[in-house]
Structure 1
Amino acid sequence: MRVLGEITESPPFVISPLSPSTTATGGFIGCLWLVSLLNLAWCCLQASECSPGRKVVWNLLTLLTTSGMLFLEVSLVAFLFQGNYANGREALTRTFLISGLVIGLHLLLNAIYLFGFGVGLFIDNSEHIQKLKWGLWVIHKLLLASIYGMIFFMYNSKHRERLPARPAFYKYITCMLALNGLSLFACALAANGAHFGLWLFGITSVCYHAFYLPLLYVTFLADFFQEEDLNLENVYYSEMKDAGFFDADWE
């Protein structure tokens, strides 16, 4: 009863408002949910790729889904380049602008090729292989593989101190380098008319859409949420201590 009386008599405590970095974190989580829903829709509407009347819808859905997933990739790579002293909130705050610019350029170029020049970037046709389409995919995959390859070799060089010292990030880079390298090989085969390249590219695309988001969660978000929970508990404890809830323990 004494403790309850002290609680009712003590001044109310207020949890600190959200900081800009927390708002940025919430924005990133919102993007993650949006991309997850788009990716789920992409997986459920695979039959639309073969429907002549739904090619525009399929191209638009695939463009939005791949752009959203690329946004997550760019954000995480930018986080890696910020080194050992970057935590989740600071990195997200600084990389939103960079990721937005990259994805904006990606959307613009893909929209021009899709709706301006009529290049079916996201529709595989084994009867009429478009070399322009596969040439664009080769460039896209080559850029991604080069970036992941550079980070991979940084981890195995004297410059590894500039990157976060977390084994999970190294495993993430290794997986993405292998996936993009295999996809690059498939695009090169398809550009030369090999039907095996079409099959291999389809397999890598399915693996990317199926496993990238779980890989992202295991690598980055699981530890980040644990850190956020710990910080929130510390805030609660500090506010309650300032309000005098634990004064009886010292008497």
Structure 2
Amino acid sequence: MAWNVLSLFTTSGMLFLEVSLVAFLLQGNYASGLEALTRTFVVSGLIVGLDLFLKVIYLFGFGVPLFVDNSEQTHQIKWGLWVFHRLVLTAVYGVILFMYHSKWRERLPARPAFYRYVCIMFIMNALALLACGLTANGASFGFWLYGATIVCYHAFYLPLLYKIFLADFFQEEDLHLENVYYSEMKDAGFFDADWE
């Protein structure tokens, strides 16, 4: 029970972060700061609330062990739900990728970082979808692949966000200037041992 509740809130929090990021960036320059945040949180709250409601019904209403993995017994309902869940996420990222190569490209953010993020998340969700489909059909490799994709998602999602969107923003200009000054002083001979 405790594991299911903890997993439910963890996955809902990660989904809220993922939906919020995409919803915020898809607004582009069409809204002001407070208006964009309000719209983002409303959209994310509705989507994650619906997802959380369905998972609670499966967990506590029907007794389907969504987060407890047991490779000895395959629950068709559980893996059917995960296939549907991953199919929706893969379809959303696939539509955004399709829009980059269509006439609706100008509606998307003009940031290359957003395109890289969408590509990585599409590949990750497509792998998880394949793994869920294989596991639903009884393949043990699918169970292993699903576990690997979930571990990679939870371990590397936040570092991925930092590297793609925030690393350039938090890079200090002073540090670069100090490196430039140091190399100029070194080239001029200020750090030679002959100063005595």
What TM-score range do you get, normalising by the shorter chain? Answer: 0.7 to 0.9
- Residue 181 (1) aligns with residue 121 (2): no
Corresponding residue for residue 61 of structure 2: 116
Amino acid at match of 1:178: I
Correspondent of 2:42 among 89, 94, 97? 97
For residue 126 of structure 1, give the secondary structure of its aligned residue in structure 2.
coil
Corresponding residue for residue 27 of structure 1: none
Deviation at 1:116, TM superposition (A): 1.4
Aligned in 2, Cα 1:148/1:88: closer, same or farther, shift over 3 Å? farther
For residue 158 of structure 1, give the secondary structure of its aligned residue in structure 2.
coil
Deviation digits for residues 11-69 of structure 1 (CA, Å, limit 9, x no counterpart): xxxxxxxxxxxxxxxxxxxxxxxxxxxxxxxxxxxxxxxxxxxxx11111111000001
**Aligned mates of 1:146, 1:117 — CA distance in 2:** 27
Deviation at 1:84, TM superposition (A): 4.7
Contact between 1:134 and 1:191, CA under 8 Å: does it hold in 2? yes
Correspondent of 1:209 among 130, 154, 162? 154
Where does the alignment leave 5 or more consecutive residues of structure 2 unmatched? 172-196
Amino acid at match of 1:121: L
Percent identity, aligned pairs only, is 70
**Aligned mates of 2:51, 2:91 — CA distance in 1:** 17
**Aligned mates of 1:153, 1:100 — CA distance in 2:** 26
Query: Number of matched residues?
Result: 171
Contact between 1:148 and 1:177, CA under 8 Å: does it hold in 2? yes
Corresponding residue for residue 57 of structure 1: 2
For residue 119 of structure 1, give the secondary structure of its aligned residue in structure 2.
coil
**Aligned mates of 1:82, 1:223 — CA distance in 2:** 22
With a CA cutoff of 8 Å and minimum separation of 6, indicate the structure with the bigger relative contact order. 1
Q: Normalization by structure 2: what TM-score?
A: 0.81
Deviation at 1:144, TM superposition (A): 0.2
Deviation digits for residues 75-100 of structure 1 (CA, Å, limit 9, x no counterpart): 11112321355576653232111111
Contact between 1:84 and 1:165, CA under 8 Å: does it hold in 2? no
For residue 144 of structure 1, give the secondary structure of its aligned residue in structure 2.
helix
**Matching of residues 1-251 of structure 1 within 5 Å:** 56-85=1-30, 90-222=35-167
